Amino acid sequence: MSNSTCNGWTNYATWRVNLEMFDGFDPREYGFDLSSHYELANELKDYAESAIEDSSSDGLARDYALAFLSSVNWYEIAKHMIEDFADEEEDEDEESNV
């Protein structure tokens, strides 16, 4: 698998993890920090690693899944989430002012 872009994302790993783990995910429900791309990126990475560790036993498959996460651009996913929630809040503000 090359490191070329995939569906508008940095690479396949970033696209796939965002799609499979974070589509419809609300970081506010987990108390994640939406004020900092860096902090949210770290929280998302920890969340994904924990999800794999909690749902699989030690072995080759787990090792490969965790290695796959090392290719993810966590900052890009965090930035995308923060922008989505900012847009959502802006839309809600506009609707309440009508």
List per-residue pLDDT tens for the chain, 98 residues long.
455 789 999 999 999 999 999 999 999 999 998 999 999 999 999 999 999 999 888 899 999 999 999 999 999 999 999 998 887 766 665 666 66
Query: In whole angstroms, what separates CA 43 from the centre of its chain?
Result: 9
Count of C-beta atoms within a 10 Å radius of residue 30: 10
Domain positions in the chain are 12-21+33-96
82 CB contacts (<8 Å, ≥6 apart)? 34, 37, 40
* Reported pTM: 0.82
